[in-house]
Structure 1
């Protein structure tokens, strides 16, 4: 069945209210500044004047942390990364192994909660 036929079949079968026809619009700022479903997260900032190559940092950090589960790292701003873990044990292990460095630059880490804005999390102090 072609996609057009499939859509028209359901259009004939369903009756949507005015509100359902309009749908729900989620603003991009609400999505990009908040996160849901990643309770074991850190924000990392590399304290360097020079821009860090995203892929090099992700590869190095992923291989050095030696956690038991997968980790996902996303660049969210200049030298700032959002790191989320599958389990809290891996996140806590990374925090316990501080200080971290990348190419002789300190990596500042902060735990974030669902109420925090990952772009605005203050990263001004390191743990030694």
Structure 2
């Protein structure tokens, strides 16, 4: 499910601000060498009025999303995380489980 499908299917339940409706822009300074060259990546955005605790999010979802191979999660902005998978199978498995909840 892509973001547009997610937003339209839950449009009546979500109350997004104009700022939250804007697309995600990831600056070059955020990208580290460990994330370059891996085609199985996604950006996870926590939709909440409260800032999520970075370490707890990374620990929880690294454990939940780890499949046959490792998963790497890096915070790139407040409540915005870059997730890198080694294999397409693990990447697809996580996408099939969306939407996700945290706390």
TM-score range, shorter chain: 0.5 to 0.7
Can you give the 5+ residue segments of structure 1 that lack an aligned partner in the other structure? Answer: 1-28, 104-128
Contact 2:70/2:86, CA 8 A, preserved across alignment: yes
Instruction: Please name the residue that 2:80 is paired with.
Output: 80
Return the index of the structure with the highest Cα Rg.
1
Any idea what SS the aligned residue of 1:101 has? coil
How many angstroms does 1:55 deviate by?
0.6
Larger strand fraction of residues: 1
Q: Once the two structures are superposed, what CA deviation does each residue of 1:15-68 show, in whole Å capped at 9, x if it has no partner?
A: xxxxxxxxxxxxxx5453696311110000000111101110011111122411
TM-score by length of 1: 0.53
Instruction: Please name the residue that 1:45 is paired with.
Output: 45
Instruction: Please name the residue that 2:30 is paired with.
Output: 32
Name the CA distance, whole Å, in 2 between partners of 1:45 and 1:30.
Answer: 19
How many pairs are equivalent?
Answer: 75
